Structure formats: structure tokens, C-alpha cells
Amino acid sequence: MQIKVQAMGIYQTNCYIITVDEKDFIIDPGVNATEWVVKNVTNPVAILNTHGHFDHVWSNDELQKKLNVKLYTPKGDVMLLKESSWMPDLPPSTPDVEVEPNEELNLQGVKIKFHHFPGHCPGCSMIEIGDAMFSGDFLFERSIGRTDFPYSSTSDMKDSLQRFKKFDFDKTLYPGHGGTTTIKQEQQLADYWIGQL
């Protein structure tokens, strides 16, 4: 598996291209991501959203049309693709597939699991592909997603962190912003963040 990453826009939102068996999966194509993505894919299969916030989905529609691939978005965040209270000029997009909570997909022989961890927003998910976990804005290196946005929920975030603590395996985490970390590293801080919420 090969992973390419480029931080996009003023919020430096990580856009990822994951290549498995010569198949390319695009995760969270943010602001002005299209040119970089097009230059770095050879066999695009799907666009995957960890959640629906504008800085992660800005280039969804443009890439759907340019690459002729399907868009997969967590069901709870589909409404966020149409409008943004922060960014009224958000280009709207429509997912081809509304992913159910904790659904596992098989896309051309590649297993992709959406782990539902609401709190930052209703559909917030981590996407597991092989030995990598793309944590979106649920978890960052030594930090967690904010819960003071519209549709955020502190109680949901606490519940999500409690469930995250129960993961009995370790993988590298690739967050929506900043550098990589691991499941085990962030599990050590889960109780601290629960106490802070």
C-alpha cells in the first residue's frame, strides 16, 4: 500500500491518495485538491469522505465528474455537503453511496471499513484500509476534534472516545490535519480528553 498526502487550503486539510493493488482511493479532497489529485492518480476507484465539513469535501463534485468515480460519504453528514454555515460558497456534492455507520465495503477487492465515531459531527468516521486508519477530524496527534460546531455533540464525543479505547489492535493513524500518530498512542490520552469535555 502506498499513501500520498497533501495539505490543502488555509486549514491545511490533509487529502490522501491510497494505492492498493494499483487501485487509487482518494480521501477528503479539500479546497483546490483537484489538480494535485489528478496529477497523482493513475487508476482512481473512489472518493471517500471521513465526514462532511467543507474543508474535507470542497473538491468532491469536481473530482466525481473529472475522474468519473463514485463518492462515498457517511450517512449522518450528507446534509453538510449541500450547505455550510461557514462557507456559503461551498460547491455542493451528492454522494453516490451513503455509508451506514460502521459499514464495511468491498471496492474492487479492497476492504474498506468506516468506523463511526460521532461527536465532531454526526457522521464523523475513521476509515480503515489495510494497516492504516484515516481518522479525519475525530482524532489528531495528541488532540481530538472540536465539539463546539453546529451539529457537534460533546456527549457523542465522550461515547466515541470510550469506544475507541476498546480497540484491541494498533495501526498508524493518518489525521485530517497534522502528522501521523497511532491508535495506541492516542488511546493513552482518551481518558484525559473525556475529562476535558
What is the distance between the alpha carbons of residues 94 and 142, in angstroms, rounded to a whole number?
33
**Residue-range definition of the domain harbouring residue 55:** 2-196
Number of domains present in the structure of the chain? 1
Instruction: Note whether 67 and 46 are within 8 A (CB).
Output: no
DSSP for 14-78? EEEEEEETTEEEEE---TT-HHHHHHH-SSEEEEE-S---HHHHTTHHHHHHHHT-EEEEEGGGG
Task: Give the helix/strand (H/E) hosting 164.
Answer: helix 154-164
Residue 123 neighbours by CB distance under 10 Å: 27
pTM, full prediction = 0.97
pLDDT in tens, 88-103: 789 999 999 999 999 9
Mean pLDDT of 10-36: 97
Residue 27 confidence (pLDDT): 98
CATH value at residue 156: 3.60.15.10
Residue 126's pLDDT band, with cuts at 50, 70 and 90, is very high
Instruction: Note whether 11 and 137 are within 8 A (CB).
Output: no
Q: Is the pLDDT of residue 18 over 80?
A: yes
What is the distance between the alpha carbons of residues 173 and 170, in angstroms, rounded to a whole number?
9
- Comparing CA positions, the residue from 74, 8, 68 lying closest to residue 44 is 68
Q: Cell numbers at residue 129, please?
A: 484500509
